[in-house]
Amino acid sequence: MAAEDMRDVITFYGYETDHWNFTFGPFANHTKLLEREYLSEACSCTQTSEASLSNKFIYQHHIKKTYFIEGVISGHVTFASSGATSYITSYRVTVCKVNENTHIEDELFSTNWKTIDETLDWNSTYSYGDEIVFPFWIDAWNKEEIGEYDRIYVKVEANCDNNCVLWHDNNQTYEDLKINIPFIL
């Protein structure tokens, strides 16, 4: 295998900070971030977000001045009921880039909408809801360039009721939102 065919697969975890934000292009005071490692569990973070919203997790750092995404993207997302029984009918995970100067957001690779039919029960006695983890794979064989004024982010969308939440807890014993992205550096 030639050096130009080598890929570095980087694992990212999504979480939401309570006291740190990031501004880049159209992302103003953004608190949902991608990181390569979990923070200390003592850090103040938000565990869940309403799943019916478009949840965007941005990687706030440069990986290299110019690099490419190509290969198979994989990972998983976790949904749960919160406060009442919830229903989820479809979800989509998309890898995107955003440009700092033009504020243009480009969807690069997507799972497309995955149709499911899941009921997540809620136990009011114990204040506990069902959770479900969906794995995903995306064929990313059309090489996409990420330039020096770009950042990558992952968008998670779901068609569900407002009792359904997306988990993104800062807890490495249970990886709620995880994505592996192959890069040519």
Read off the pLDDT of each residue in 74-98 and give the average, rounded to a whole number: 97
Domain extent, residue 93, equals 3-184
Read off the pLDDT of residues 114-123 as tens digits, 9 standing for 90 and up: 999 999 999 9
Instruction: Please give the pLDDT value at position 143.
Output: 94
Q: What is the CATH number of the domain that holds 33?
A: 2.60.120.260
pLDDT-based confidence at residue 89 (cuts at 50, 70, 90): very high
Entry pTM: 0.94
Report the chain's C-alpha Rg in angstroms.
17
Instruction: Please give the pLDDT value at position 4.
Output: 62
pLDDT-based confidence at residue 2 (cuts at 50, 70, 90): low
Counting the structural domains of the chain, the total is: 1
Buried b (16+ CB within 10 A) or exposed e, 135-157: ebebebeeebebeeebbbbbbbb
Read off the pLDDT of residues 35-76 as tens digits, 9 standing for 90 and up: 999 988 888 999 999 999 999 999 999 899 999 999 999 999
